[in-house]
Amino acid sequence: MSILSTLLDEFHAVFPRGVRGQLHGSCFLLTLKALLIPLAPARASSLRRVIAVVFGVTLSRSAYYRFMASARLPWKALWVRLWRGTPSPLTDGRLIMGLDDSINPKTGRKIFGCQTTFDHAAKPNQSAYPWAQTILLLGLLKRVHGRWACIPWAFAWYLRLATLRLGCQRLRGRAIGFETKFAQATRLLRFLAVVFPKTPILVVADSWFGNNGLWKPMRQALGPQVDLLARMRVTTALYDLPPPPSGTRGRPPKYGPRLGTVKDLAERLRPEARCETLQLYGRQQPVQFAERLVMLKTLKRRVRLVCVFRRSHYVALFTTDLTLTPAQIIEFYAVVVSILVACIGVKSLKRQARVQVGTGVGQDDHDRVSVACRPLQCWGCGPCRSGAESGFETGSEHPRLLDVLRKIARANDMYSDTEGMGLGGNSNPGSKKSNRTSAALRHKRAPPKPSTTTSTSACWPPP
């Protein structure tokens, strides 16, 4: 828990030295630690109750609600401390950033950022147009305790132009202007490049972001510092590399002969596929793939195409970073699943529709605290030695996020010894609050029943 204590101390140093600044700093640390303890939903009332019962700090309802909706929290400095405090953020000499959007359904009609949104992944028993918030999430992809994970680093609210035309929406005293998801992603990456000025950045996204709509503004803003890795659509037209200059008059051709679509080229590359054993989903798995350098007219540049073959289907991946090997391309894109897990994890911290925060500043602060809590959960404790130690059958030698959360909940300094983090705990062990805390901890620490189902390995590529 030393990394967690160090990060919390750095967070507290960001707040001003005044009385109100120190009060906000203490409330911020208490809220983060209350989110780390899986005892109650992430509603403001539940967090305030956990702070009073577990840490012995009683906050008035008005004071805590004013903190949760404060427009003066130093979020820019907190993000910088969080990014720079990440242990070893580079993978193979570059920052690997995952980019994806997510929706968060709500039930209230006066919730900030809610709009009628089309859900392309809706189940048959769900509405295809839910009343939900749309969030663009940017996270760091790296190995945490031996497993690939997406650590949320930044997010942005996405509001459609039709929603903004219905009425002006303000956030922190400013009117919200329309921004496309590509422009929001470029803005977040530009802020990230200021903190890491000379570090190469590789953006990993799905096929929706893997086009010139994201590539052009991102390349104009960051230059050669940024590259893109995404899935390619099967209808994309491919071209061969241009032939060498012939020495005759006239402009040399920029593109070679047309190779057809991705589907046509994949059928011709299948006999040339080779099989290698790669590290996917925490274990070694055989993967069949073929690669080729091609030209894209959409990006107006050459890219490395990697086709991963399964029995009945294939997945086409491409990257603008020509120094990446096919094994790296496949392994990095396989982490896209962890981006979805990160989005679901942020939703679980907020408990989705049960957390109703109406004001824009309150909703923004609540989501920022939830996003800032996820990195602390990922590297807040060391890895488990085995699955039996945590009470879960992981099927692998590395722990899952549930194992990490359980180990954080078992740590005694998170409950009784809070003085080491600059916050006072309950000094009377015989009080009613201490007895309720011990009963709650005994209930949460009870090991679950052993699972009778056998774990199956995840398939690659994802469906």
Q: Please give the share of the chain, as a percent, with pLDDT higher than 90.
A: 28
Reduced to 3 states, what is the DSSP secondary structure of residue 310? Answer: coil
Phi-psi region of 334 (alpha: psi -120 to 50; beta: other; left: phi over 0): alpha
**What Cα–Cα distance (Å) separates residue 402 from each residue in 132, 142, 153, 230, 328?**
27, 18, 20, 29, 27
CB-facing half-sphere around the CA of 76: CA atoms within 13 A: 6
Among 201, 172, 169, smallest CA distance to 185 is for: 201
Contacts of 230 (CB under 8 A, 6+ apart): 204, 205, 206, 207, 209, 210, 317, 318, 319, 333
What is the rounded average pLDDT for all residues in the chain? 77
Distance CA 277, CA 271 (A): 18
**Each residue of 129-158: pLDDT tens digit?**
998 888 898 989 888 877 788 888 888 889
**Each residue of 11-67: pLDDT tens digit?**
888 888 888 888 888 888 888 888 877 666 677 788 888 888 888 888 888 888 888
**Each residue of 256-311: pLDDT tens digit?**
999 999 999 999 999 999 999 888 777 788 999 999 999 999 999 999 999 999 88
**Each residue of 379-403: pLDDT tens digit?**
655 454 444 444 444 444 444 555 5
The phi, psi pair for 171, rounded to 5°, reads -140, 120
Distance CA 322, CA 440 (A): 54
Distance CA 412, CA 240 (A): 62
Reduced to 3 states, what is the DSSP secondary structure of residue 59? Answer: coil
The size of the chain, in residues, is 463
pLDDT for position 284 = 84
**What Cα–Cα distance (Å) separates residue 151 from each residue in 80, 84, 93, 148, 250?**
14, 13, 18, 10, 51
Reduced to 3 states, what is the DSSP secondary structure of residue 18? Answer: coil
- Does the pLDDT at position 121 exceed 60? yes
pLDDT for position 126 = 85
CB-facing half-sphere around the CA of 286: CA atoms within 13 A: 6
Distance CA 139, CA 99 (A): 7
pLDDT for position 419 = 35
**Is the CB of residue 119 less than 8 Å from the CB of residue 129?**
yes
Planar angle of CA 224, 226, 231, nearest 5 degrees: 125
Among 324, 336, 206, smallest CA distance to 280 is for: 336
Helix (H) or strand (E) holding 204: strand 201-205
Reduced to 3 states, what is the DSSP secondary structure of residue 107? Answer: coil
pLDDT for position 240 = 94
pLDDT for position 247 = 79
**Each residue of 63-118: pLDDT tens digit?**
888 888 888 888 888 888 888 888 888 998 999 999 988 888 887 777 888 888 88
391 or 251: whose pLDDT is higher? 251
pLDDT for position 404 = 52
For 211-240, b/e burial (b = at least 16 CB within 10 A) is bebbbebbbeebeebbbbbbbbeeebebbe
Among 288, 293, 232, smallest CA distance to 259 is for: 293
- pTM higher than 0.85, yes or no? no
- Does the pLDDT at position 241 exceed 90? yes
Domains plus CATH for the chain?
A: 1-68+391-463 (no CATH), 80-242+254-339 (3.90.350)
pLDDT grade for 437, boundaries at 50, 70 and 90? very low
CB-facing half-sphere around the CA of 362: CA atoms within 13 A: 15
**Each residue of 171-192: pLDDT tens digit?**
877 788 899 999 999 999 999 9
